[in-house]
Chains A and B, each alone.
Chain A
Amino acid sequence: MDTHIQVKDLNVYYGKQQALKDVNIEVPKKQITVIMGPSGCGKTTLLKSLNRFLELTDGTRITGEVLVDGQNIYDREVDVTEVRKIVGLLAQRPAPLPMSIYDNVAYGMHIHKMRNDRKEYKAAVRHYLEIAGLWEEVQKRLHDPASSLSIGQQQRLCLARGLAVEPEIILGDEPTSALDPISSQNIEARLLDLKQQYTTVIVTQTLRQAKRLADHVIYMYMGEVIESGPAKEVFTNPKHERTRQYLEGLF
């Protein structure tokens, strides 16, 4: 297994409450890793430790290391904006920026000055909208407000926007939970298409989604990682009693 992200002895506290306890995991490169577990078990906290989003909440304390390609992203010398450029996030609810469809996709490329002229930006915007499967629907209305899109379209726009800054890792925080079944399927299909090129980490509440997407599974309970490994093994032959109970729907 080619490891892309390695989490070492990670502990996270919100004030006095400990949200993650001694988490040690490895996330394989260019595969889909799914984090599962009951609500409040720390799934999202673990996910948000990977793009340094935890520090946006006041009173959060983090110890341990998160290594991306061997580099600890919590190192003092590391530029957080570079971390977030490499580690993209697809949020639970799509949050289009207050600008046009075109500008939403171009925004990230602009702040990182990734293209040279208008023509290149235009081509890149089209390219990423195509990858997200949105181009056909929006090509005639690129300058409409992004908020005029349906919620499913908005989530695909957010995907295009995230991919446009050329990340290596995509994080998904229950990225389909706010969507209707058709839009969810659409997003899932995109994620499966993209796993050849990106390391993907998804948090999900739905076991069926986990089974459809996962190459690798992390099962969490009460802030601890109970079990992690290849999806086949964990789903068919869980090592831990808790994982088995969860998979059988006992809690």
Chain B
Amino acid sequence: MGMKKKYWQRRHLMELFMKTIMRISLVVVAASLGLILWTVVMRGLPAMNWDMVTQVPKGGFYMGKEGGVLNAIIGSLYLALGGTLLAMLFSLPIALYLKTYLGASKWGHYVRLSLDVLWGIPSIVYGAFGFTIMISIGMRASLLAGIIVLALVELPIMVRAMDEVIRRMPTDLEQAALALGSTKFEVAMQVVTRQMLPGIMTAILLAFGRGIGDAASVLFTAGYTDRIPTSLLRPTASLPLAVFFQLGSPFPEVQQRGYASALILTVIVLAVSLGSRWLSSRLNKYTVK
């Protein structure tokens, strides 16, 4: 029968070969990520208890005595939410401007290029930059400074992610609105933003993930404290730094708590991801597929 598959044919072998490579890469990546998660869970779980998430560090916490990392949990949420919100205020207009008015022009190209470069700069540089400015205006490490620097770290990611999403806006949809006599601004606000809402949410989430996990940018700018911040001008703790300090401790109990703190951070990111997925699935009811 002429239709029988000839497995030894070059093109079938090629497919088999490529499929195998794809599977292997998937397994390698999934396994490494799984291993990291496994380590965090196995080492962190024994140190997890109610106190970890409801108490601030008490005297002797850093030598293995009682207390928790509530200060860092609250601090990180304040920092990341504040930073993400602030970054969003600038990112959405920039992304819409890029799409609506700059498009594929020379200036659009330059803006995208510089954002890509900013994306690649290590966050410690942002931290050091923020610190220099703070010193020159006589400001001390505080929640506010941390939020501003985190917003700067998140901004390039958020703008570029939004830009990539918004660029995929179907032209016929845009033209439908223009044909009714909309201004480009009305199209951007009422049509593009609506249609691309799920993608915009993903961009925000991506930036939030980077923000909440970043230690270096908040090291100098937000400082560290065992108290929950009560004002924007007070310093604040954060989970990545809590992990860093505890893992650096010589006491095994404290190191375990470092893993527990990392576990808490992971769970927060997971919860925010799932939450925003759910939200965007509710919001995209009217999205044209």
In angstroms, how far is the closest chain B Cβ from the Cβ of A182?
23
Of the four ranges (under 10, 10 to 19, 20 to 34, 35 or more), the interface on chain A belongs to 20 to 34
Q: Which of B168-213 contact A (CB under 8 A)?
A: 170, 172-173, 175-183, 186, 190-191, 194-195
Whether, in the assembled complex, A145 has its beta carbon less than 8 Å from a beta carbon of chain B, the answer is: yes
Whether A84 and B181, one on each chain, are in contact in the complex, defined by CB atoms closer than 8 angstroms, is: yes
Q: Which of A94-123 contact B (CB under 8 A)?
A: 95-100, 107-108, 111-112
- Per-residue contact bits, chain A 138-177, to B (CB 8 Å; 1 contact, 0 not): 0000000111000000000010011001000000000000
Whether, in the assembled complex, B285 has its beta carbon less than 8 Å from a beta carbon of chain A, the answer is: yes
What is the bound-complex CA distance between A97 and B190, given in angstroms? 9
Whether B186 and A98, one on each chain, are in contact in the complex, defined by CB atoms closer than 8 angstroms, is: no
Whether, in the assembled complex, A53 has its beta carbon less than 8 Å from a beta carbon of chain B, the answer is: yes
A82-B181, A111-B182, A147-B288 known; A99+B176 contact, CB < 8 A: no
For residue B104, which residues in chain A have a CB less than 8 angstroms away from its CB? 58
In angstroms, how far is the closest chain A Cβ from the Cβ of B201?
15
Of the four ranges (under 10, 10 to 19, 20 to 34, 35 or more), the interface on chain B belongs to 20 to 34
A98-B288, A99-B286, A145-B286 known; A89+B179 contact, CB < 8 A: yes
Q: Which of B85-138 contact A (CB under 8 A)?
A: 103-105
For residue A147, which residues in chain B have a CB less than 8 angstroms away from its CB? 286-289
Whether A158 and B181, one on each chain, are in contact in the complex, defined by CB atoms closer than 8 angstroms, is: no
Among B103, B170, B172, max chain A CB count under 10 A is at B172
What is the bound-complex CA distance between A111 and B181, given in angstroms? 8
Binding site for A on B (CB under 8 A): 103-105, 170, 172-173, 175-183, 186, 190-191, 194-195, 285-289
A58-B103, A81-B182 known; A107+B177 contact, CB < 8 A: yes
What is the bound-complex CA distance between A100 and B186, given in angstroms? 17
For residue A53, which residues in chain B have a CB less than 8 angstroms away from its CB? 175, 178-179
Whether, in the assembled complex, A56 has its beta carbon less than 8 Å from a beta carbon of chain B, the answer is: yes
For residue B191, which residues in chain A have a CB less than 8 angstroms away from its CB? 97-98
Known: A145-B285, A147-B289. 14 other contacts (CB 8 A): A53-B178, A58-B104, A82-B181, A83-B181, A84-B181, A95-B175, A96-B176, A97-B176, A99-B194, A107-B177, A107-B190, A146-B288, A161-B180, A165-B181
For residue A165, which residues in chain B have a CB less than 8 angstroms away from its CB? 180-181
Whether B178 and A56, one on each chain, are in contact in the complex, defined by CB atoms closer than 8 angstroms, is: yes
Whether A95 and B180, one on each chain, are in contact in the complex, defined by CB atoms closer than 8 angstroms, is: no
Whether, in the assembled complex, A30 has its beta carbon less than 8 Å from a beta carbon of chain B, the answer is: no
User: A85, A98, A162: which contacts B195 (Cβ < 8 A)?
Assistant: A98
- Per-residue contact bits, chain A 71-92, to B (CB 8 Å; 1 contact, 0 not): 0000000000111110011010
5 A–B pairs (Cβ distance < 8 Å), ordered by A:
A53-B178, A88-B180, A91-B179, A145-B286, A146-B286
What is the bound-complex CA distance between A82 and B181, given in angstroms? 6
In angstroms, how far is the closest chain A Cβ from the Cβ of B285?
6
User: A56, A98, A111: which contacts B180 (Cβ < 8 A)?
Assistant: A111
Q: Which of A172-230 contact B (CB under 8 A)?
A: none
A99-B194, A145-B286 known; A162+B179 contact, CB < 8 A: yes
Whether B178 and A158, one on each chain, are in contact in the complex, defined by CB atoms closer than 8 angstroms, is: no
In angstroms, how far is the closest chain B Cβ from the Cβ of A56?
7
In angstroms, how far is the closest chain B Cβ from the Cβ of A97?
6
What is the bound-complex CA distance between A58 and B286, given in angstroms? 30
What is the bound-complex CA distance between A91 and B172, given in angstroms? 8
For A154, give the chain B residue with the smallest CB separation.
B288
User: A95, A107, A108: which contacts B173 (Cβ < 8 A)?
Assistant: A95
